Amino acid sequence: MREIRNRGYADTWIWSSDMAKRAYQKLGYVDADFGLREHKWHR
Amino acid sequence: MPELPLDLSDRDTPRHIQENMIAYMRLFAGLPGMISYDAETYWFVCGKPAPGNIILRANWPDGSAEARIDALFAQVGQHSDEIGWMVFPGDQPADLGRRLEARGMPGGPGGNWLWADLTTLGAGPTVPSGFHIEPVRDDHMMAEWVRVSEAGFGSELSSFYEAYARHGYGPDAFSLHYIGYLGDIPVTSGTLLDAGGCATIYDISTPPNFRARVLAAPLPTP
């Protein structure tokens, strides 16, 4: 996160597994829903 | 969900994330067994669980969308029996998600996206004694990064070595990789992708036998 800040960004994103979510929240990450939705196609 | 000091009503944020994810998949383009299409749509198919099969962009006129969806599935179906389709707010037609649902493809959240404000970054978490993080600087370290990641994710990731080593490690690199060590033992790994207007963290993993000790460190377990 410090490297990202050193690159000039004021914020950062992470795509977390369910398992890791709590660990990242401890680092200051919060849920952010910007409207991305996933659909699954099977033959 | 907590209130965010972040305006998600404009399209910049999802567009940045979309471009960042496409930049990530492009790192693998052209490697053996990996097929991608990068134009008005972006899709990527590989014969391995990672980096996986994914559609990340569609930009079609309203009137031709149904035929284009059919054509896209026909193309993808030549290489895979399944694929995920991430629909972003800026994709066109604007009702693309509803069209996919009408085809029997219900939509759900596209992963757990977490955001952090770096302007209020604190002192950082407590780390185990002897823990330190090093950037991957050469192919030897990249191979070590892959070994840690394979142990953490429990899957074969040789294509990640090929993709990341091909991208390189110089000052122009936007795909940056890190290894966390306990002393001289590699115990965790991660990737920072500075692309598309945002910096996003991917690939974080810690082998099971180190998770209890490293979990509080800055590169937590998957």
In this predicted structure, the answer to whether residue B213 has a pLDDT above a threshold of 80 is no
Q: What is the pLDDT of residues B92-103, one digit of tens each?
A: 999 999 999 999
Give every strand in the sheet of A37-42, ordered side by side: B34-38, B41-46, B54-58, B82-87, A37-42, B107-109
Measured CA to CA in angstroms, residue B44 lies from B16, B96, B156 at distances of 19, 19, 19
Q: Is residue B117 within 8 angstroms of chain A, CB to CB?
A: yes
Amino acid identity for residue B128 in this structure: P
Please compute, for residue B213, the number of CA atoms within 13 A of its CA located in the half-sphere on the CB side: 16
Interface of A with B in 1-43 (CB under 8 A): 1-5, 7, 9-21, 23-43
Residues recorded for chain B: 222
Q: What is the pLDDT of residues B112-168, one digit of tens each?
A: 999 999 988 777 777 889 999 999 999 999 999 999 999 999 999 999 999 999 999
In this predicted structure, the answer to whether residue B220 has a pLDDT above a threshold of 50 is no
Host H or E run for residue B55: strand B54-58
Q: Is B178 helix (H, G, I), strand (E, B) or coil?
A: strand
In this predicted structure, the answer to whether residue B15 has a pLDDT above a threshold of 90 is yes
pLDDT at B3: 53
Name the residue of chain A whose CA is nearest to B4's CA: A32
pLDDT at B10: 64
Cβ B200–A39 below 8 Å, yes or no?
A: no
ipTM (interface pTM): 0.93
Q: What is the pLDDT of residues B156-202, one digit of tens each?
A: 999 999 999 999 999 999 999 999 999 999 999 999 999 999 999 99
Q: Distance between CA atoms of A25 and B4, rounded to whole angstroms?
A: 14
Is the Cβ–Cβ distance between B86 and B100 less than 8 Å?
A: no
